[in-house]
Chain A
Amino acid sequence: MFGYIIRRSLYGFPILLGVNLLLFLLFFYVNTPDDMAETFLGEKHITQEQIDNWKQEHGYALPRFINTAESFPGVITQTIFWQKSMSLFAFRFGRSDQDNSDIGTEILRRIPYSLCITVPVFIFSMMLNLFVAMIVAFYRGTYVDTWVLILCVVMMSISALFYIIYGQMVFSILFKLVPVSGFDSKFPHYFKFLMLPILMGVISSFGGGVRYYRTIFLEEINKDYIRTARAKGLSEGVVLFKHALKNAMLPILTNVVVMIPFLIMGGLLTENFFGIPGLGSYMIDAISRQDFAVLRSMVFLGAFLYVISLVLVDISYTLVDPRIRIG
């Protein structure tokens, strides 16, 4: 088992290398360090000397892939690719191009903010969606099923933007129940800021979630063991809530694990609209300032979490279902 985890994790390495290479080509060939320097130095008074200086100070004054001026290890290590991209593997994210702040520290500082929103949204919406999906599966074929499904499709067809915009309008402007936006990181004060974003998050994931879980339940219901259970004379409720739910846990768990990167990376729209200083708004800031150092780090972090979650999915399969064996 342990060996398997190690092997799976090592498999992630070439993937992350591929991600790095792709990003490097994307960033450093189309947008040269000179362009970056100009962006950050502002427009009013600018000289070539200043640009060179900026590059020197930010470590971009090196060759891209191969440094012919150096002897062996330096040929590779004294290059932008090695110093900027490969050092990500050691989680040395370096400094932001924009303000020299340390990216690693900033990421760690921001993760809790993102989790404040995503984790409750995830838990609440999963509970609600599972509950509704089970009810729908219980009443399958009746008007409840039809109408809930139509409601789901309707809710899925509305852009998340509208939920947020209308949510703010209704709850904090019209009814004045919660603050429009903002955040306060001190203990009980943040609850009032979290309610609206969480509610909106739950609502906007309702449609898709219910449909997804309903499909899973229906699949389970059509299986033989359920028929056997029914034949034993168990009531439909017990069959559904005890047997089907237990067996549906596997696909549900997979879904949970796959969500991990998204939980940590935060919600772009939600964080921006509600002024929550998590990783999502960090990315938006990086984009609007064209801060490639931050963007590079965030992409790497996202890919890294994805690879981890792939490994976790495999492990969770074996834990939940002992029938699955790993070689």
Chain B
Amino acid sequence: MKYFLNSWAFQNVLVVLLILLLAWIVMVMRQSEYWRAAFRRVFKRKLARISFVILSIYCVIALLDSVGFNQPLRDTEGQVQCSADTGKVLRDEQGMSLLDYILTPLRASKEKTYSAPFATHQFTKETVMDETGNSSRKYPALKHPRRHLFGTDKVGNDVLYIALKGIRTGMIIGGMTTLLVVPFAILFGVFAGYFGGWLDDIIQYVYTVLSSIPSVLLIMAFMIVYGQGLTQLCVIMGITSWTGLCRVLRGETMKLREMEYIQACEAMGVSKLKIMFSHITPNLMHIVLITAVLGFSGRVLSEAVLSYLGIGVGADTISWGGMINDARMEMARSPIVWWKLFAAFVFMFGLVLPANLFGDALRDALDPRLRTE
């Protein structure tokens, strides 16, 4: 089960769901003048436009990395192999994503071990034997000199490639958690706020219990028990973060419930479910959207910390947190190997900063009074 949950296929189901959800939201928003006006206001800002472009690039890379295929197996001569019995083309069981395919030159340009960015020679000395059998220690030349924008890591992988692969992990952690959080938060928040009474009590009780546990501790406990993995991390981050949004939505719903147009609906006999989902929820969407975008960047940052604490996505998945974790040892070298940490820093910063800026712009345009920490 754990393997299924962490498998690529399962994660991609979620990716598809996420895309569908996004598409639906965009469709709904396009129909409303309010949202179109709001987004016009957002895109009036230069920073927001730039941020949006950068975020889109990240999204595209993450998507490319999510579309995968199994390459046909080739024998030593390069011929495609077929099964002896069925005649079907045999395929490599270890899949490959479009991103891997595009980055084949980067992926293939492996060195033996560390090399600095744009270096021509290896970072460490090695004993080299010449024809006469004399050994001497020198820096061997790289197989692919001046090709590594961020240098290479301990086993000679291009760090740029690893950082690019980390994008999908980062986006999934930010995005998938949101996917888990939003429906629950809306459902529970609106129900609790609209119905009140015992339902409200129960929902309040549940989220108070959850939020009374320090979230780091709850995440730790969960990860120890269920093991490390991307899916587990998303689930537990979802569990710890829906409470905040739910609380806000509940409060807003309580306010809306007293508004005249809702009272009018009730008087006309519109069913309660319809009131909740057609009249209340759309008026909460701006809060949801702002929280989602700002929460996204927070989650990307927490992933790094959690991976560093040893309770992150695990060693199987390439992630920026994992890169920082690896870099711990490298920082102690003399001279230090700084490029892996640097690459993780650049890529993380490149995602979180635009997300924050875009979130800010959204908030200013939609609800300047909403307080976010």
Interface residues on B, range: 35 or more
Out of A215, A269, A272, which one reaches B371, CB within 8 Å? Answer: A215
Task: Give A169 to B216 CA distance when docked, in angstroms.
Answer: 27
- Closest A residue to B373 using CB positions: A212
- Name the segment of B129-137, B191-199, B341-349 touching the other chain: B341-349
Q: Is B371 touching A306 in the complex (CB atoms < 8 A)?
A: no
The verdict on B253 contacting chain A, using a C-beta distance below 8 Å, is: no
Q: Is B212 touching A160 in the complex (CB atoms < 8 A)?
A: no
Identify which of residues 259-303 in chain A touch chain B, using a CB-to-CB cut-off of 8 Å.
Answer: 261-262, 265, 268-269, 272, 283-284, 287-288, 290, 295, 298-299, 302-303
Task: Give A165 to B222 CA distance when docked, in angstroms.
Answer: 27
Contacts of A16 in B (CB 8 A): 212
The verdict on A23 contacting chain B, using a C-beta distance below 8 Å, is: yes
Contacts of A162 in B (CB 8 A): 341, 345
The verdict on B209 contacting chain A, using a C-beta distance below 8 Å, is: yes
The verdict on B115 contacting chain A, using a C-beta distance below 8 Å, is: no
Contacts of A216 in B (CB 8 A): 371
Q: Is A15 touching B304 in the complex (CB atoms < 8 A)?
A: no
13 A-B pairs with CB atoms under 8 Å apart are: A14-B205, A23-B213, A23-B221, A157-B301, A157-B352, A158-B349, A159-B304, A160-B301, A165-B341, A288-B310, A298-B217, A302-B213, A303-B213
Q: Is A153 touching B353 in the complex (CB atoms < 8 A)?
A: yes
B228 to chain A, nearest CB (A): 12
- Name the segment of A25-33, A117-125, A194-202 touching the other chain: A25-33
The verdict on A240 contacting chain B, using a C-beta distance below 8 Å, is: no
The verdict on B218 contacting chain A, using a C-beta distance below 8 Å, is: yes
Out of B216, B304, B356, which one reaches A153, CB within 8 Å? Answer: B356
Q: Is B218 touching A208 in the complex (CB atoms < 8 A)?
A: no
The verdict on A19 contacting chain B, using a C-beta distance below 8 Å, is: yes
The verdict on A219 contacting chain B, using a C-beta distance below 8 Å, is: yes
The verdict on B311 contacting chain A, using a C-beta distance below 8 Å, is: yes
Q: If A18-B205, A26-B222, A287-B220 touch, does A161 touch B373 (CB 8 Å cutoff)?
A: no
- Closest A residue to B294 using CB positions: A156
B227 to chain A, nearest CB (A): 10
Contacts of B225 in A (CB 8 A): 26-27, 30-31
- Closest B residue to A23 using CB positions: B221
Q: If A165-B331, A212-B371, A284-B309 touch, does A19 touch B213 (CB 8 Å cutoff)?
A: yes
Given contacts A26-B221, A290-B224, list 11 more A-B pairs with CB under 8 A.
A16-B212, A31-B224, A159-B301, A160-B305, A161-B308, A165-B331, A215-B371, A287-B311, A299-B213, A302-B212, A306-B214
Out of B220, B222, B331, B373, which one reaches A283, CB within 8 Å? Answer: B220
Q: If A14-B205, A169-B331 touch, does A302 touch B217 (CB 8 Å cutoff)?
A: yes
- Closest B residue to A168 using CB positions: B331
The verdict on A22 contacting chain B, using a C-beta distance below 8 Å, is: yes
Task: Give A307 to B208 CA distance when docked, in angstroms.
Answer: 9
B210 to chain A, nearest CB (A): 8
Mostly, the B contact residues are helix
Q: If A30-B226, A268-B309, A306-B211 touch, does A157 touch B217 (CB 8 Å cutoff)?
A: no
Task: Give A12 to B218 CA distance when docked, in angstroms.
Answer: 19
The verdict on A326 contacting chain B, using a C-beta distance below 8 Å, is: no
Which 7 residue pairs are nearest across A and B when measured between Cβ atoms?
A: A18-B209, A302-B214, A157-B352, A157-B353, A306-B212, A303-B212, A30-B225
Residue among A153, A161, A215, A219 with max Cβ neighbours from chain B (10 Å): A161
- Closest B residue to A152 using CB positions: B356
Mostly, the A contact residues are helix
B interface, CB within 8 angstroms of A:
205-206, 208-209, 211-214, 216-218, 220-222, 224-226, 297, 301, 304-305, 308-311, 324, 331, 341, 345, 348-349, 352-353, 356-357, 360, 369, 371, 373
Q: Is B221 touching A19 in the complex (CB atoms < 8 A)?
A: no
Residue among B209, B218, B345 with max Cβ neighbours from chain A (10 Å): B209
Task: Give A153 to B357 CA distance when docked, in angstroms.
Answer: 7
Q: Is A161 touching B353 in the complex (CB atoms < 8 A)?
A: no
Contacts of A22 in B (CB 8 A): 209, 213
Q: If A159-B301, A268-B216 touch, does A295 touch B221 (CB 8 Å cutoff)?
A: yes
Contacts of A208 in B (CB 8 A): 373
Identify which of residues 28-80 in chain A touch chain B, using a CB-to-CB cut-off of 8 Å.
Answer: 30-31
Q: Is A287 touching B310 in the complex (CB atoms < 8 A)?
A: yes
Task: Give A208 to B373 CA distance when docked, in angstroms.
Answer: 6
A208 to chain B, nearest CB (A): 6
The verdict on A1 contacting chain B, using a C-beta distance below 8 Å, is: no
Q: Is B356 touching A159 in the complex (CB atoms < 8 A)?
A: no
Contacts of B331 in A (CB 8 A): 165, 169
The verdict on A90 contacting chain B, using a C-beta distance below 8 Å, is: no
Out of B217, B357, B371, which one reaches A295, CB within 8 Å? Answer: B217
The verdict on A154 contacting chain B, using a C-beta distance below 8 Å, is: yes
Out of B214, B310, B348, which one reaches A265, CB within 8 Å? Answer: B214
Contacts of B345 in A (CB 8 A): 158-159, 162
B121 to chain A, nearest CB (A): 25
- Closest A residue to B341 using CB positions: A165
- Closest B residue to A165 using CB positions: B331
Identify which of residues 141-177 in chain A touch chain B, using a CB-to-CB cut-off of 8 Å.
Answer: 153-154, 156-162, 165, 169
Task: Give A158 to B305 CA distance when docked, in angstroms.
Answer: 11
When each residue 293-326 of chain A gets 1 if its CB lies under 8 Å from chain B and 0 otherwise, what string results?
A: 0010011001100110000000000000000000
Task: Give A301 to B224 CA distance when docked, in angstroms.
Answer: 19
- Closest A residue to B348 using CB positions: A159
Q: Is B305 touching A261 in the complex (CB atoms < 8 A)?
A: no
Contacts of A154 in B (CB 8 A): 353
Q: Is B308 touching A299 in the complex (CB atoms < 8 A)?
A: no
Q: Is B212 touching A307 in the complex (CB atoms < 8 A)?
A: yes
Task: Give A155 to B197 CA distance when docked, in angstroms.
Answer: 43
Identify which of residues 216-270 in chain A touch chain B, using a CB-to-CB cut-off of 8 Å.
Answer: 216, 219, 261-262, 265, 268-269
Task: Give A16 to B373 CA distance when docked, in angstroms.
Answer: 27
Contacts of B341 in A (CB 8 A): 162, 165
